[in-house]
């Protein structure tokens, strides 16, 4: 008998003829997640199994974060012919349990010498004999002991819920505009959860933003990297663009114009990365540059879709997710962002396109964009 992890997947079930591809990707992602724990991962009977983990708890933590995994079970694996051992395994699993239980048997091996109702009865009787303090409740048990008869027998109790989603890499590529704030890491995580590989762009404005502020963003990317299966961060020098906007454009319009330049650069980097969409952490009305009118003005710059997965979320809801994915504590460290440098006193919440275009006509956009791209440094995390 040995203890293994039985991994269940969620939406991959929906994938008709593409299902083998999604399964292969999921196995690869799980394999990658447990490689430092020497985990052995295999696919059998449409289930993924993980064995030989050097640290079971750490293995569970890692596998439950792999996008595409719906839930997992710590499961005892035994030879199916040894029915007594199956009964003993069931007793072992109720060691700490008090109250009601039921046995739920399933056979994918239909030639097995007992049918499911008989397995339920026999295992249930055996458990009651060893643990007369327990009672059976078939309708509303406090604990279900599952017995699965496949190529081997698997006995387990409660499933552990995992993250869900789809394996990274099965749904294209996107480029995330990553600031040091709370929102954008959450936005990137949410899109990656749908199976999208992610790269990131960060704008910094030295000397107005510090080296430590940039390091904070790279730390956020490192935290995300485990779930995202790696992330490349393009750090783009943004000082010259901001200075020129500040000098030449209408003071109420500096933020919106700055955001359009961010979009231009992110769009160019997305093309280099062969990404099919941009992702931002914007939410309707959160700040002046996120009114519907302002979002329309920045959207217009991109020639690929801009995904804003937080668009309808409140800050408290975003903070909940940030806590869950482990980025919150880093996000709230007090370092400056280029957006907070030169903020206008009365940012336009209903920006007019003529004023934006008039401001931008005073800037040598092509040269500014090229210089920023030339100065970009890429970190592979």
Interface residues with ligand ATP (CB under 6 A) are 177-179, 181-184, 201-203, 262, 280-282, 287, 289-290, 337-339
Q: Which is nearer to Mg ion, 183 or 273 (CB)?
A: 183
Q: Which is nearer to ligand ATP, 147 or 262 (CB)?
A: 262
- Partner whose binding site includes residue 184, from ligand ATP, Mg ion, none (CB under 5 to 8 Å by kind): ligand ATP
- Partner whose binding site includes residue 88, from Mg ion, ligand ATP, none (CB under 5 to 8 Å by kind): none
DSSP one-letter string for 58-118: HHHHHHTTSTTEEEEEEEEEE-TT-HHHHHHHHHHHTTT--SEEEEEEEES-TTSSS-HHH
In angstroms, give the least distance from the CB of 314 to Mg ion: 12
Whether the CB-CB separation of 234 and 269 falls below 8 Å is answered with yes
Across the strands, what pairs with 202?
Answer: 235
Q: Which is nearer to ligand ATP, 4 or 263 (CB)?
A: 263
List residues near Mg ion by CB under 5 A. Answer: 183, 281
- Partner whose binding site includes residue 338, from Mg ion, ligand ATP, none (CB under 5 to 8 Å by kind): ligand ATP
- Partner whose binding site includes residue 280, from ligand ATP, Mg ion, none (CB under 5 to 8 Å by kind): ligand ATP
Tell me the residue ranges of DSSP E strands in the chain.
Answer: 2-9, 40-44, 47-51, 69-78, 100-107, 135-136, 143-149, 153-156, 160-164, 173-177, 197-204, 232-237, 278-279, 306-307, 377-380
Q: Which is nearer to Mg ion, 108 or 343 (CB)?
A: 343
In angstroms, give the least distance from the CB of 56 to Mg ion: 39
In angstroms, give the least distance from the CB of 92 to ligand ATP: 48
Q: Which is nearer to Mg ion, 75 or 184 (CB)?
A: 184
Question: Where do runs of H (alpha helix) occur along 111-182?
Answer: 116-130
Q: Which is nearer to Mg ion, 69 or 339 (CB)?
A: 339
In angstroms, give the least distance from the CB of 340 to Mg ion: 12
Written in H, E and C, the secondary structure of 6-45 is EEEECHHHHCCCCHHHHHHHHHHHHHHHCHHHCCEEEEEC
In angstroms, give the least distance from the CB of 56 to ligand ATP: 36
In angstroms, give the least distance from the CB of 279 to ligand ATP: 7
In angstroms, give the least distance from the CB of 319 to ligand ATP: 10
Q: Which is nearer to ligand ATP, 8 or 222 (CB)?
A: 222
Residue 133 main-chain phi, psi, to 5 deg: -75, -15
Of 306, 301, 261, the residue nearest 281 (C-alpha): 306
Residue whose Cβ sits closest to ligand ATP: 181
Residue whose Cβ sits closest to Mg ion: 183
Q: Which residues of 9-28 are buried (b: 16+ CB within 10 A; e: fewer)?
A: bbebeeeeeeeeebbebbbe
């Amino acid at each position: 008998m040995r203890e293994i992890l039985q991994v269940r997947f969620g939406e991959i079930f929906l994938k008709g003829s593409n299902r083998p591809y999604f399964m292969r990707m999921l196995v690869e992602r799980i394999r990658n997640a447990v490689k430092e724990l020497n985990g052995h991962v295999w696919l059998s009977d449409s289930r993924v199994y993980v064995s030989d983990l050097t640290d079971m708890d750490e293995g569970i933590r890692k596998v439950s974060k792999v996008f595409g995994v719906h839930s997992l079970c710590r499961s005892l694996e035994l030879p199916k012919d040894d029915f007594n051992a199956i009964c003993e395994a069931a007793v072992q699993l109720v060691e700490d349990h008090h109250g009601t239980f039921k046995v739920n048997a399933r056979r994918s091996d239909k030639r097995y010498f007992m049918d499911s109702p008989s397995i339920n009865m026999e295992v249930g009787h055996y458990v009651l004999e060893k643990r007369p303090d327990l009672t059976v409740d078939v309708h509303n048990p406090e604990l279900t002991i599952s017995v699965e008869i496949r190529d081997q027998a698997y006995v387990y109790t409660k499933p552990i819920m995992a993250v869900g989603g789809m394996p990274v890499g099965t749904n294209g590529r996107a480029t995330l505009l990553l600031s040091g704030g709370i929102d954008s890491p959450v936005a990137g995580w949410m899109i990656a959860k749908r199976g999208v590989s992610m790269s990131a762009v960060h704008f910094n404005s030295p000397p107005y933003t510090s080296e430590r502020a940039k390091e904070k963003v790279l730390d956020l990317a490192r935290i995300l990297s485990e779930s995202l299966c790696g992330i490349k961060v393009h750090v783009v020098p943004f000082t010259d663009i901001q200075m020129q906007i500040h000098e030449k454009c209408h003071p109420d319009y500096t933020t919106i114009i700055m955001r359009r330049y961010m979009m231009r650069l992110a769009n160019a980097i997305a093309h280099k990365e062969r990404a099919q969409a941009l992702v931002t952490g914007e939410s309707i009305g959160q700040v002046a540059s996120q009114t519907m009118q302002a979002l329309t003005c920045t959207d217009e710059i991109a020639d690929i879709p801009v995904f804003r997965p937080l668009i309808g979320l409140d800050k408290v809801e975003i903070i909940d997710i940030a806590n869950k994915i482990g980025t919150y504590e880093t996000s709230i460290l007090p370092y400056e962002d280029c957006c907070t440098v030169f903020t206008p006193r009365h940012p336009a919440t209903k920006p007019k396109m003529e004023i934006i275009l008039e401001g931008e006509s005073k800037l040598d956009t092509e040269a500014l964009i090229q210089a920023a791209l030339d100065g970009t440094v890429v970190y592979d995390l």
